Amino acid sequence: MKSAWFAVLGIAMGLMLIGTMLVPDAQLFRDPTMARIMFTHVPCAMICSGFLIASAWHGFKVLKNYNDTSATKLHAAVELGSLFAALTMVTGILFSKIMWGEYWHGDPRQVSFLIVLFIYGGLLALRAAFPDPIRRDRNTASYALAAILPSIFLTFVYPRLKAVQQQSFHPSNTIVEGQMDIFYSVGLYGSLVLIAIIAIVVFKLRVRTELLARKLENHGNLETHSGDSASPRMVRPVAVSPEHLD
Amino acid sequence: MPSPFNRAWRACLRKEWRSEIRNPHGLYLSFLFGAMAMASIMFVTGTQRPTAEMAGGLFTIVILFSALQAVPRLFLAEEEQGTFDLVRQWGSLDALWLGKALFAGLQQLITALVLGVLFAGIIPLPIVSPIHFWITIPLLGLAVANVLSLTSSIVITAQNRWILSTVIALPLLFPFIFLGISALRVSFGIGSLEGGWQAIVALLMYGIAPLAIGPNLARTLWNERKDPSQNPIGQHNEVKP
């Protein structure tokens, strides 16, 4: 049943790719054929923002009531969010070179999204900085929660400020106000739905594998732990003087 | 009669203040870092006259530089000196965080005002709206201190905590940079006064937010008793023995 589901998803993805190639060229762009990058770029940016909110939500759950499932979901959201942020950045930089002539145009939206990417970078760096898994989960959760306000500002508020809109090459309300023609609307929403489904499937797989990995890690502990022995956690390294070594 | 919470944060604030008076590392470091950043900027710009936006940006960066080492030091030095465990015995963890964050705010407030006087004297631009200038500067200092207090409390037990505290704070500080520039450019005569006030109010709101979330995070993160790893193994994960 699952393999059939994956086959359907694969076929749908293939059809979507073919469909986005068949839509007419967008004549208003400098390179009309390459305007199709938006079918990947826009959904990746939206899904990346979704994962930021998801990581904050799971972070809140980790802090409120710690459990492995929430912690695993938090890490999966951070990992996939980073991946989609990187994809958005790469496709955006390519689009910028093709349409505006420079890889880095200093567009306010490029800068604000770069900072979103840095937030993900901070989450990954923070995760790597704690050897103890529970501290790692809790501290990553705290940062995910603390970063939600700046993330909302960078993603939803800053690009829509009047001064920023005047400077930016990015259109602000094209999608919301339905200014795209029917081919591009269908292509964009179709891509968004399919990429979102793939993201959710990968997210669930990542959560399952991580939970299994944690179970395996704790397997030895289950066999040896008697419940009344000292805590297995080392609190602080102990200094040993040379005379004790003799 | 003050509650235990109020007693704890006041005690923490007093402790930080006294240790600062005895050995003025924080204020000195903060001022020196900011002054050096300002001197470097003046050296780079040379005789060129900066625009209002650039002047606002430069001063925001100076404030940022002055706080980047001084504020995390308040938190991270406790762990490095081995006094963090002792401090945690005093009172509720949220009160301790608040005491430290308030001291960080006070420290940055003083530094920002001193650097503001220096900047106003050095920058070759007339300050058209002094009220915007003198309200934005302390607010910027306070807001940056609050965010850095928040991030420092997260990395207090991490490896490479000094670098990490800066790395994770900078993305969160971007809105402050933007709002600081928006408010300061008005004080140099660019943009509407209303826009400047809006930026100041946003700066205030955004600066207060870490004070709301910080104590709660400290209560969760610094509490070793609630650490599930100290409980029998079956309680902190979902594996049934």
Q: At what angle do helices A182-224 and A2-22 cross, to 10 degrees?
A: 150
Chain A residues within 8 A of B160 when measuring between CB atoms: 129
Q: What span, in angstroms and rounded, lies between the C-alpha atoms of A162 and A171?
A: 12
Q: Would you call A154 an interface residue with chain B, using a CB distance cutoff of 8 Å?
A: yes
Of the candidates A128, A195, A22, A138, the residue with the CA atom closest to the CA atom of residue B167: A128
Residue A176 pLDDT: 61
What confidence tens digit (pLDDT) does each residue in B22-78 have?
887 778 888 888 888 888 877 877 777 788 888 888 888 889 888 888 889 888 988
Distance of alpha carbon B38 from its chain centroid, rounded? 18
Residue A233 pLDDT: 57
Residue B112 pLDDT: 92
CB B111 within 8 A of CB B28: no
Q: What span, in angstroms and rounded, lies between the C-alpha atoms of A37 and A91?
A: 7
What confidence tens digit (pLDDT) does each residue in A184-207 have?
888 888 889 999 999 999 999 999
State whether ipTM is beyond 0.90.
no
Q: Give how far Cα A210 sits from Cα of A73, A82, A204, B77, B165, Å.
A: 9, 17, 10, 35, 27
Closest CB to B178 among A121, A158, A214: A158
Residue B176 predicted with pLDDT over 90: no
Of the candidates B109, B86, B88, the residue with the CA atom closest to the CA atom of residue B97: B88
What confidence tens digit (pLDDT) does each residue in B178-188 have?
889 889 989 98
Distance of alpha carbon A89 from its chain centroid, rounded? 12
Q: What span, in angstroms and rounded, lies between the C-alpha atoms of A201 and A12?
A: 14
The encoded tokens of residue B171 equal 């993305």
Tell me what the mean pLDDT of segment B171-199 comes to.
88
Q: What span, in angstroms and rounded, lies between the C-alpha atoms of B68 and B145?
A: 9
Residue B150 binned pLDDT confidence (cut-offs 50, 70, 90)? very high
How many percent of chain A have pLDDT more than 70?
85
Residue A242 binned pLDDT confidence (cut-offs 50, 70, 90)? low
How many percent of chain B have pLDDT more than 90?
23
CB B62 within 8 A of CB B123: no
**Pick the residue with more confidence: A244 or B145?**
B145
Chain A residues within 8 A of B177 when measuring between CB atoms: none
**Pick the residue with more confidence: B167 or B227?**
B167
Domain ranges, ordered by start, for chain B:
4-223
CB A107 within 8 A of CB A169: yes
Query: Out of A92-96, B11-15, B20-24, which region has the weakest mean confidence (pLDDT)?
Result: B20-24
**Pick the residue with more confidence: A224 or B13?**
B13
Chain A residues within 8 A of B209 when measuring between CB atoms: 149
Quick one: closest CA in A to B162, which residue? A129
Q: What span, in angstroms and rounded, lies between the C-alpha atoms of A52 and A152?
A: 9
Q: What dihedral do alpha carbons A8, A12, A14, A18 form, nearest 10°?
A: 150
What confidence tens digit (pLDDT) does each residue in A94-149 have?
988 888 888 887 788 888 899 999 999 999 999 999 888 888 999 999 999 999 98
Quick one: closest CA in A to B202, which residue? A153
Distance of alpha carbon A31 from its chain centroid, rounded? 29
Quick one: closest CA in B to A115, which residue? B171
Q: What span, in angstroms and rounded, lies between the C-alpha atoms of A107 and A101?
A: 13
Quick one: closest CA in A to B238, which residue? A68
Of the candidates B118, B140, B130, B143, the residue with the CA atom closest to the CA atom of residue B57: B140
**Contacts within 8 Å (CB) and 24+ apart, A177-183:** A183/A23, A183/A24
The encoded tokens of residue B200 equal 């100041």
Q: State whether B168 and A221 contact (CB < 8 Å).
A: no
Cα dihedral B93, B94, B97, B99 sign:
negative
Chain B residues within 8 A of A130 when measuring between CB atoms: 157-159
Cβ count near B71 (within 10 Å): 30
What confidence tens digit (pLDDT) does each residue in B205-234 have?
888 888 988 998 988 888 876 555 544 333
Q: Which residue has the tokens 């490896």?
A: B159
Q: Would you call B80 an interface residue with chain A, using a CB distance cutoff of 8 Å?
A: no
Q: According to DSSP H, which parts of chain B are helical?
A: 4-22, 25-45, 52-81, 84-87, 93-122, 130-154, 161-187, 193-221, 233-236
Residue B228 pLDDT: 52
**Pick the residue with more confidence: B62 or A177?**
B62
Chain A residues within 8 A of B164 when measuring between CB atoms: 125-126, 129
The encoded tokens of residue B91 equal 């009172």
Q: Would you call A192 an interface residue with chain B, using a CB distance cutoff of 8 Å?
A: no
Tell me what the mean pLDDT of segment A144-171 comes to.
82
Instruction: Report the length, in residues, of chain A.
Output: 246
Q: What span, in angstroms and rounded, lies between the C-alpha atoms of A113 and A49?
A: 10
CB A175 within 8 A of CB A39: no
Q: State whether B175 and A150 contact (CB < 8 Å).
A: yes
Q: What span, in angstroms and rounded, lies between the C-alpha atoms of B133 and B55?
A: 12
The encoded tokens of residue B63 equal 């404030």
Residue B79 pLDDT: 86
b vs e for A38-69, b when ≥16 Cβ sit within 10 Å of the residue's Cβ?
A: bbbbbbbbbbbbbbbbbbbbbbbbbbeebbbb
Q: What span, in angstroms and rounded, lies between the C-alpha atoms of B41 and B78?
A: 33
Which residues, in sequence order, are CB contacts of B75 under 8 Å at separation 6+?
B100, B149, B152, B153, B156, B165
Query: Out of A66-75, B109-118, B215-224, which region has the weakest mean confidence (pLDDT)?
Result: B215-224
Q: State whether B178 and A233 contact (CB < 8 Å).
A: no
Q: What span, in angstroms and rounded, lies between the C-alpha atoms of A132 and A135?
A: 5
* Helix (H) or strand (E) segment spanning residue B107: helix B93-122
Chain A residues within 8 A of B236 when measuring between CB atoms: 66, 134
Residue B207 pLDDT: 86
Which residues, in sequence order, are CB contacts of B188 under 8 Å at separation 6+?
B52, B55, B56, B125, B126, B127, B128
Residue A244 predicted with pLDDT over 60: no
Query: Nearest C-alpha of chain A: how many angstroms from B1?
Result: 32
Quick one: closest CA in B to A67, which residue? B237
**Pick the residue with more confidence: B30 or B96?**
B96
A69, A109, A139, A223: which to substitute to probe chain B, counting the most B Cβ within 10 Å? A139
Query: Nearest C-alpha of chain B: how many angstroms from A133?
Result: 9
Residue B198 predicted with pLDDT over 70: yes
The encoded tokens of residue B22 equal 């005895």
Which residues, in sequence order, are CB contacts of B93 under 8 Å at separation 6+?
B215, B218, B219, B222, B223
Tell me what the mean pLDDT of segment A70-86 comes to.
95
Residue A236 predicted with pLDDT over 70: no
What are the φ/ψ torsions at residue B134 (nearest 5 degrees)? -80, -15
Of the candidates B35, B118, B10, B29, the residue with the CA atom closest to the CA atom of residue B73: B29
